[in-house]
Structure formats: C-alpha cells, structure tokens
Structure 1
Amino acid sequence: MPVILRKLLACGLLLWASLHAMSGVAQERGLQSITSAEVARGDWQTMRAPADGWQPVSIPDFINGRWPGFDGVVWYRLQWEQADAEQPTALTLEYINMAGAVYVNGILVGRDANLVEPLSRAWKTPRFFVLEPPVLKAGHNTLLIRVSGLTTYGPGIGEVSVGAVDAARALYEHYLARRVDGLRFVFAVDATLGVFFIMLWLMRRREVAFGWYGLSTLIWLGWQANFIVTSTWPFASNHTWAVINACFLPLFAGTFTMFVLRFCERRWPRAEFAMWVGIALGIAFLLLLPAAQSDGYRVQLIIASGLLATAANVLLLVLAWRGKRIEPRVLSVVALLNVLAAVHDILTLQRIVFLANDYYADATAFANTLGIAAVLAWRYARNLDRIEHFNVKLQHDVDAARSELADNLQRQHEVEMTHARIGERLNLVRDLHDGLGGSLTGSIAAIEHAPQKLSVPYLLKLLRDLRDELRLIVDTSAYDPQSSGSFGEQLVPLRHRMTRLLDAKGVVCRWSPAGLDTLHLPSAQALDVLRFLQEALTNSLKHSGATEVDVAVQYETGVLTVAVTDNGSGVGAEPSTGAGMQSMQARARRLGGEFHIESAPGRTRVAIHNALAGRLPVR
C-alpha cells in the first residue's frame, strides 16, 4: 500500500479512537451512570407525569422499539442516591430526542422551547445541570424527563450521568464536541470545500469531476442541516421539514455517483440517464404523497439513496484498484470508510442495531475532506514537477531557438547588405545613364553636328550642365538617411543651384519647404525626389517661358507632396508623351505616389501626391 494511503488510514483510526475514549475517562473521574429507569406514556398537553403504566427500561432507550410508530409524549423516571446534598453535583444527559423537560425531585431544572408541534429540534443537543439544595436532597433523588418525540426521528434519551461537577462538565463538553461542535465544524468545512470546487470548475471547465464533487458537497449540506438546525423554520412542522430534507439525500447520491464516474474517467450515458430518471421520480412521488403515507416511503427513499451512495463508493473501490492511477486509490480509503458508515447508519435507522442514536455519514465528510485534500496535494506536487521540468526544457529550447535566430538574422543581414549594395549600384548606373549619360550624349551630338559654330560660352555651358549632373549624383549617393542629417539638408544644394539658374534668366523662384527636418530617405528615394524637382524646374526654365515658379516640398504625417507651378505657356496638347514627363511619372511610381499634371496657358503644375505613405520605417 502506498505511504499516503497508510497515513490516511492511520489518521482515521486515531480520530475514531479519540472520539470514543472520552466517555471512559470521564467515568473514571467520579461519575455515576444511571442505566435503569421506568417509562410511561403521557399526554401532549399535560406537564405532569402519569400515575401508573410505568415499565422498566434500560438507558439509553428508544421508544420505537417498545411502541413502534408512536408520535407523542413519554416520561422517564430515574432514581439515584446522594450521600451529601451539600456537595455540588452535576447532571449530564447525552441527548433528549426530540424535545423535553427535566425535573429533579419535582422541580423543573430545564426545558426546550416547544414541547408540541412544531417541536424544538434538540435531538443532538446534550444537557448539563448543576444541582444544589433545595433541588438536590440527601439520600433518595428522583429524575423525571418528559420527552416529546416523533417516530421518524427515533425518540428516546441517551446516557444519563450524575456526580462531580468537573467530571460531569468534561463529559458534557465531550458530548457537545462530538454531537454539536463536530457537526458544525464538518458543516463549515463542507460548505467551504463545496464553494471551492465549484469555483475551480468554473475557472477550469475541463475539471468536470471536481465540479460534480463541489455540487454533491453543497447538496449534502441540505441533508446535514437535519442534524444541526434547532427549529423547523421556514416550515410549519417537523413532517414538512423531514420531507424536504429527505429530497437532498437522493440528489447527493446521484451527484456523488457522477463524481465517481468522472473522477475514474468513465461515462455510462444510459445508466446515468436511468439513475437521474429514478431520482426525479422518487423525489416527485415523495412530494405528492399524503402526509399519512409519506413517512414510511420517506424512510425507504433514504435507505435507497444510502444504498446508491454506498454502491458509488464500492464502484470507486473497484475502479481505483483496477486502474493504475494513484488519485483514485487515495480516495478508495475514504470510500471504504463511507461504506462502513453507510452500513452503520442504515442499520441504525432501521433500529436493527441499537448502539446509540448516532449517524456516522456526516462524520465521514471530514474524511472526504482529507481524501480530496490529499488528491489535490498530489496533483499540485505532480504538476509542479511537470512545470519545473517543462521550464528547464523550455529554457533549453529558447536558447537553441535564440542561437538559430541569431544565425538566421546574421545571414539575412548579410544578404540584405549585399542586395543594398547591388541596388545602390544599379541606381547609380541608372542615374549616370539617365542624367550624366544623356547630357554627354546631347553635348557630343551638338559638337559633332556643327563643330565650327561652337563658341566658348556655349562650351562652358555644356560643361557646367555636365558638372551639375555629376554633383547631383554624388550628393544623393553620399547621403546617409540613418545619420543625423535630414532630407531638408540634402535639398539645399539643388535649391541653391536651380535658384541661381532661374535668377540668371530673370525667373522669380519661391520655395515652400515644410516638415523636411523630420524626413529621412534612402539614397534611391532621395535621388528620385531631387530628379523630379530638377526635371520640372528645367522644363519651366527652358520650355515654358515662365517668369515665376513656385516650388512646394512638404512632409506631414508620413506623406510627402512635391509640386512645381509656373506661369508659363504650358506643355502642349499631350503632356505625358515627352521623355521628361515619362521620367517624372516613373519616379512618382517608385516613390509610391500619384503623378498629376495641370497645364493651361498662364499656369502649369506638376506634382506627386501621397508619396512615401506607409513606406518609411518608424524612427
């Protein structure tokens, strides 16, 4: 047997021994147990003991064994000899079932609130009285106990002891702890445990077994309340209370059976459906029966429910030891205790065994708590080990993935650097071909066509144009967008040269830059923007005959707008067919913008709208 099972069994045996050891210790401390008495039936309305009809009985006593089916009042007469009336003496009663009044030498020393229906539900409550003169007499003393009882609850009285006050109080406290405080403690534990497992199921819906366990525990509280509450509220009689209370037991048996099946990873749909149909019919039949016929059926329903719960515990034992999981085996120890308690309680309810008016099913709820706590502790420890091992493996996998990612990033960086160099070279080749190459070709063609007509100023102009083309390429190629410089700084040289050329021709040029200090462009994009401006301004200078030119270069919220407007003669009927216009359109596409041209005598505007939108990284 696993160590944890042996420890649980040892705890259970130790708890049982401690509960049954107190009475013997108390007897050895100077208490006298009164074990014989006389009993007679009385009347609901009278508070006087009958004059005749007394029969000898032994204490404890159960009325049902003598007068089966009797609901009414009985009187018990007990006697003892007191050597010294001046010596304080205490009287301890284990219980009076259901309600009662206590007289010593004809003097009332204590009574329950309601001695007729609805009776006070005092059947689990021990009594303690300190007796002194004139109540207590030297020599012969008579104790009368009036019991108002219902056959449903097994009316009668428990152990009766008289003697030293301290010893009697110790015995009373033992009775109180076992019959009242212990039940309240178990009730509180069950309530807490039921709410805990319901919340666990709500947070982890796959834990269906624990959801059923939490529900069964909360339903069990409805049945367990029968042993704790002291009044019939909110019902008018003990009969109604008993009927409603009995409905909880079959519901508990059903939910506990569902817990066993789910905990052992079993699903039996047909059997489960048949079980719930039977439970529903049994409860409905109990609620519909007339009061005169319901008591017998209610007892049978309680027995059937107990047998169902016992069968569920036996099933847990069988499934636990047929399988290999440790958790069901832990609970199988508790299941064995539940089976033993259920057998005892059924025999006690049927008055087959008259050991005492005690039921142990409520006490084994604490054993259930220990078992479930052990299961949770086992599961927590096992999951913690899994998490620790998973963390170690995860860290190893993360380190391996990080190393692989670093290698991949390094290779990707090298590839991107290679592509960038190739791209820069291609851009440089293209710009040399489009800009400087075109200028050289044009200059060579002019010289070859009429070399004898070339003047020095004309040659100087050709050389200056070639120099400007070369300087533009060098400036844009040397521009680093990752440095602290902005595109506005790169625009300065082109703005200076073009403004000087326009001024030399008598053309007024107005520049409107905005937001360029925050704009950083790669070399290829910067060159496209500058080439677009250069081409547009050159057209205004050479072909339009304009006297005023407005240049707008604006960057706002990630969008670049470039526009050149002049007051020249326009660009003709088909402005998009020229080589210059096609070049500007191509550069607008590479910048991701839209190329627009508006041409009319007195106003011509070429522009790129929405350039760079979503194409630049966030800095």
Structure 2
Amino acid sequence: MTSPSPIAKTNRFFYNQKLRYVTGSLIILIFSMALAVMLFFYEIPLPEDKLTLSSIEFSPFEDQNIDNIPAQSWTTITLPDDWRKQGENRASIISGWYRHQIELDAVPVQPLAILIASPRMNVAVYINHNLLGQGGRFTDPVARNWWTPLLFSIPSDILKAGKNTLHIYLKTDRAGIGYLPELHLAPHDSLIKSYDTHYLFRITSVQFITLLLFVQGSIIGILWYLRKHEVYYGYYAVGALLWSWHNLNIFTVHIPVSNILWDWFSYTTLGLCAFIYVIFVHRFFEKKAPNIERVMIIFAILCSGILYFLEGKEFHFIAQTIWYPAAYLAGIYGTLFLAVNAWKYCNTELQIITISAFISMLYAGHDILILHGIIDWKHGYFFQYAALILLPGFTTILLYRFVSALNETENLNRNFDQQLEKKHAELESNHQKIWQLENERARLILDMHDGIGGNLVSTLALIELRQANMQQVAEALRDTLDEIRLMIDSIDIQKNDLTFVLGIFRTRITRKLRNSQIELEWDINDIPSISNFDACKALFLLRILQEAITSAIKKEQVTKIRLSAYLIQQQTEGSAVIIEICDNGKSLDSDDNKARENMHDRARGTDYKLFFESGLSGTTVKLILALDDEQNMLLTDNKKDVF
C-alpha cells in the first residue's frame, strides 16, 4: 500500500484547517445570532405599581376638536392598535381618537403620568377634556414621534374620584399606517425612570451611533483623500456617511422638508448604503465583478430617480416591494462574498466582521418584516443598532491597513534614504579614488620625469661624451632600476601600513647587501599605523632609506648595517615612530655630504624630521614620523608603552 504523496498531505492539511475554521465560525455565528435575537425581546422596564391600559375605545373621527366626536363612532379595540392590520376601515384615514375611562377611588397624592412608548406619528393627550400635552405640530409635515417615547404628567387638580376620561388624538403622516401602543399609567416619579431608560435605548443611543458613523466616515474619508489609490477607503466613508444620514429618520421629530421628500431621502440613503457595501467588499479583496456592479449602479440610479418623482401609495409600494428588497439582497450577497473570502484566508478579523455582517442582515431582515406588517410594530426597527456591531471590526482593519501602509512607506523612505546615503558615500568614495588616481598619475609622471628621466639623461650624457667607463654606466642603470622598483613598491603599499613598506624595502636591499658582504640587522618592533601615510609619502620614505643604505654601502670598512623602528611616547611633543639606519663604516666627507643633501631634499616634501649622527663607530640616520592628535589620544587611553 503506497503512502500519500506530499501534495495530497498538504491538501489534506489545508482542508482540515479550513474545516476547523468553518466549524468554529458556525459555532460563533450561531451563538452570536442567539445573543442578537435577545434584543427582539427587549421590554420597557416599567415600575411594579403601573397600570397598563390595553382595552380602549377608538373613533375614526378626524376633527381635532374633542367636543365634536359623534357618540356612535366609538368602538372597543385592544392595544396595541396597528392600523395596517385593521382592514379597509383604517386604510383611508390619517387621524383618529382613542378613549378610556380611568376609575379612581380617590385623587392620588402623588402626581400621575402616562407613558406612550412609540405612537405613529403624533399624539395629543387629554384628561377630563384638559390638554396634558402633545408631541409636536399636527400640521404637515406632522411631528414624527414614531420612535420617540412620550411622557405626559397628570396634575392632581384635574383628577377626581370616580371616572376620569382619557382622550388621545393620534395623527399620522399618511393614510392607514397609524399605531398606538399599550398605555402605561403610574406615579410620575417611578414612571419617569422607565421613560429615561427607554429614551436612552431608543433615542440617545441612536444619536450616539449616528454621531459615531458620521465622525468615522469623515475620518476614513480623510484617509482616502491621503491615499486615493486605495478606493475602498472612499467607498467605506461614503457608506458610513449615508448610514448616518439615514439614521436621522429615527430621532428627527420636526423634519425640514415635506413628508414625501423626507421618506425619499430615508429610503435612498439606506439602499445606496447597501449597494456601496457590495462595491466596498469587492475593492477590499481586490476582486473584479464589473457586471454585478454595473447592474447595481444602473438599478440604483433608475429606481431612486423613479421614486423621486412618485408620490403617495405608488411611492411606498415601489420603495417597500422593490427598492428595499433589492438593497437587502445586495447586502446578503456582500455578506456571503465576505464569508467566502474569510473562509479562503482563514483570517480571525475577517471572521469577526463576517459574523457582524450576518447579524446586521438579521436585523435588516427583521426591519423589512416590520415594514410589511408581518411582525408587530411594538419593538420597531433594529438595523440602526447593527452599526455598533459592524463598524468596530471594519474600522480596526482599515486603520490597521492604513497604519501598515504608513509604516511600509516610512520603511521604504528610510531604506531609500539609506540607499541614497550609501550611493552618495559610494560616489564620494569613487570621487576620492579618482582624485587619488589622478594625484598618483601626476606623481608617477613627475617621478618618471625627475627620477627615472633624470638618471637616463645623465647616463646618456656620460655615454655620448665618452667620459664614463662601463662600470659607471652600469651603476647609473642600477640606480635607474632601483628608482623604478621604488616607484612600483610605493604603488603596491597598503594605506597607513608602515610595517608593510619597511618589509618591502627589506626584500629589495637584502640581496644587494649580501652581494656587498654586509650584514643586515633588522629590528622592527610593533609600530602603529600612521594616518595619511599614502603612496606619495611612502615613496619619499623609500627614497630616503634607499639613499641612506646606498651611502652606507659606499663607505670604507663597513661590515654591518642595522635598521630599526620603534615607537616613542613623549608628554610634551607627542608620540612618534623613529626609524634608524646605523652603519659601522668610515665615511668619505664628499660622498656623505652629497647623500645627506639628497635625503634632506627627499624629506623636504613631507613632514618627516631627519637627523644625522656621526662618530668613530659609524653613522646613524634618524628619521622621525610624528603621529597625529587622534593617534596620540588613542595611545594614551590604551596606556601602551612601546620601547
């Protein structure tokens, strides 16, 4: 039985990894959905001593004058009262009256209050024909309290023992969609806490979410402006801003435009937000789907344009049966596209965003069912709360991408600066090398002209004048060859390495001294490198040493030459390297003086110091090479004693 191939093992590993990822995602999704559904069961936290009014009378009388209501128009109904479910008798009216008899054994000491959680759209409340208050204007555009809880205080002085008549006038913005929830009666001090909690959940939280959406959309829009090539920032910013504008419909009571224009604004902003969401996820994953996007854009333009010119039932029919379902399908597609890519990349952040998107679609589906009257209006819409679930994940990833891009840009800039500095240093180095080569070339030409050329001219003159024998000619040619060797040796030296130069010099003179039967004593101690000791200075040094050795060889009775080099440290004058050439021969004054003049001429082009000591035991040529301040300081810090 053959074992699986490496490719099969690899495929199985990735399959198992993705299977675990999908399983974990499904478990988290189910758990998250269960938590999200709990929001559907939210109830107003009412006090225990509350009285809930569910049985009430209704009159479809549209006159706002309470005294003109016909007695025979009252019918008993049960709250909550959703006009959409009451058939044709409510389909054509935009206002109506509600009445309830409240029995009191005695006038309460504490003031009472009545809480109306979410009337659609506006109400005015009366007790015993006394107006307690109203939610705003009743003229078009009527005040929109469809999401705003209303609390009305009941002064004790208008109540009486026995029957007290409660009247509520309700008016909506269009025919057939009125709604009155259950009424809650309780002492004012205890009921106001319930009102504040419910107002925080219904209004304040949505206002906070809307502000968060607007600020976030603006910030992401600025990021897109800074990085225009990453267009998904722009789509995200537009989507967040559209969502924030749509949320204005939740808590705006007094709208600045007509009802139909406001509804068009509310419908289109949410629908466009869904379509832009699809384009955003395409761009986010760098996927191309031009046909899908083209169809969505054409549909969005045509449908929103048609809605703008429609009014009444036609407008709401198209908006609720075509526009919103299409937007919801676009949202489902975008969420599934997100889920597929999250599974593809097995990314935890994408997993969280995908689960958040599914919860958002759950809330959106719930709201569509509310819109069509399939689910009771009691709890209202929930999609506006999805922003708290969906936005943090998207924002985190977008900001992470932006910061990563900035860091990458900074690294690129830093690397570019480093490369630029490196190239600049290379150019400087090359320029320095070229300059050194030019100087070396000029020096070689000068040396060839003055040294080799001079020797050859002198030799040629001796031959032409026939004043020299062959020995003199040979000696002159040997001097020329020595000059050439010195020039070659000076080219090959390593920078600042005095020991290397002295070693080359030893190689050149050993054979010459052996042929002259002269013993060479070599005493070179550890000596430091010398700053700025270049080829030119090395050539001058070699010429001085060559002149000193040649001068010593010419002396009578010379049998030994000693060449030594050592470091001397002085407190006042600083440290220096001393090179000494000592011989035990007897010098001829004329030759010795000429040699010293030549060596002084060589040393004059450098900062070398040259000294001569002559005695019965022989002659010593001392050459001093001073070290610079930096080398002196280094020697002092290291506390080295060189003898």
Flag the 1:41–1:410 CA change in 2: closer, same or farther, 3 A: closer
Aligned partner of 1:52 among 72, 79, 99: 72
> What residue number does 1:121 align with?
144
Number of aligned residue pairs: give it. Answer: 442
CA contact (8 A) 1:88 1:164 kept: yes
> What residue number does 1:354 align with?
376
> What residue number does 2:269 align with?
248
Distance in structure 2 (CA, Å) of the matches to 1:396 and 1:306: 48
Offset, 1:378: 5.8
Offset, 1:153: 8.7
> What residue number does 2:318 align with?
297
Q: Deviations over 1:218-243 (max 9, x none)?
A: 1223322222222231xx53123223
Equivalent runs, 1:124-143 vs 2, <5 Å: 124-143=147-166
Distance in structure 2 (CA, Å) of the matches to 1:175 and 1:116: 27
Flag the 1:267–1:407 CA change in 2: closer, same or farther, 3 A: closer
CA contact (8 A) 1:19 1:178 kept: no
Aligned partner of 1:238 among 251, 259, 273: 259
Distance in structure 2 (CA, Å) of the matches to 1:75 and 1:207: 57
Distance in structure 2 (CA, Å) of the matches to 1:217 and 1:389: 27
> What residue number does 1:95 align with?
118
> What residue number does 1:615 align with?
none
Decide which moves more: 184-193 or 136-145: 136-145
1:315 and 2:337 correspond:
yes
Aligned partner of 2:328 among 293, 306, 320: 306
**AA partner of residue 34 (structure 1):** L
> What residue number does 1:38 align with?
57
> What residue number does 1:70 align with?
92
> What residue number does 1:545 align with?
none
Flag the 1:268–1:244 CA change in 2: closer, same or farther, 3 A: same
Offset, 1:87: 2.7
1:191 and 2:214 correspond:
yes
Decide which moves more: 342-351 or 422-431: 422-431
Decide which moves more: 44-53 or 365-374: 44-53
**AA partner of residue 216 (structure 1):** G
**Aligned residues: percent identity?**
23
Offset, 1:173: 0.9
TM-score after normalising by structure 1? 0.61
Aligned partner of 1:210 among 225, 233, 245: 233
Q: Deviations over 1:80-119 (max 9, x none)?
A: 4344422322221112211221112221000133213221
Flag the 1:431–1:56 CA change in 2: closer, same or farther, 3 A: farther
Distance in structure 1 (CA, Å) of the matches to 2:56 and 2:160: 19
- Aligned-residue Cα RMSD (Å) equals 4.8
Distance in structure 1 (CA, Å) of the matches to 2:234 and 2:179: 40
Offset, 1:438: 11
> What residue number does 1:163 align with?
186
Equivalent runs, 1:350-389 vs 2, <5 Å: 350-356=372-378, 358-376=380-398, 379=401
CA contact (8 A) 2:90 2:176 kept: no
Q: Deviations over 1:518-541 (max 9, x none)?
A: xxxxxxxxxxxxxxxxxxxxxxxx
Distance in structure 1 (CA, Å) of the matches to 2:260 and 2:361: 28
Flag the 1:413–1:113 CA change in 2: closer, same or farther, 3 A: closer
**AA partner of residue 241 (structure 2):** L
> What residue number does 1:337 align with?
359
Offset, 1:430: 4.4
> What residue number does 2:439 align with?
420
Distance in structure 2 (CA, Å) of the matches to 1:398 and 1:7: 50
Offset, 1:344: 0.5
Flag the 1:14–1:336 CA change in 2: closer, same or farther, 3 A: closer
TM-score after normalising by structure 2? 0.58
Offset, 1:288: 2.8
Equivalent runs, 1:402-413 vs 2, <5 Å: none
CA contact (8 A) 1:341 1:360 kept: yes
SS in 2 for 1:309: helix
**AA partner of residue 128 (structure 1):** L
Equivalent runs, 1:138-149 vs 2, <5 Å: 138-149=161-172
CA contact (8 A) 2:33 2:359 kept: no
Offset, 1:410: 8.5
Q: Which runs of no fewer than 5 residues in structure 2 stay unpaired?
A: 1-20, 468-643
Distance in structure 2 (CA, Å) of the matches to 1:106 and 1:150: 25
Distance in structure 2 (CA, Å) of the matches to 1:135 and 1:20: 38
> What residue number does 1:229 align with?
252
Flag the 1:381–1:139 CA change in 2: closer, same or farther, 3 A: farther
Q: Deviations over 1:23-65 (max 9, x none)?
A: 464344x222222222120124534444222232222221121
Aligned partner of 2:279 among 240, 258, 263: 258
Q: Which runs of no fewer than 5 residues in structure 1 stay unpaired?
A: 449-619
**AA partner of residue 350 (structure 1):** H
CA contact (8 A) 2:120 2:177 kept: yes
Offset, 1:439: 14
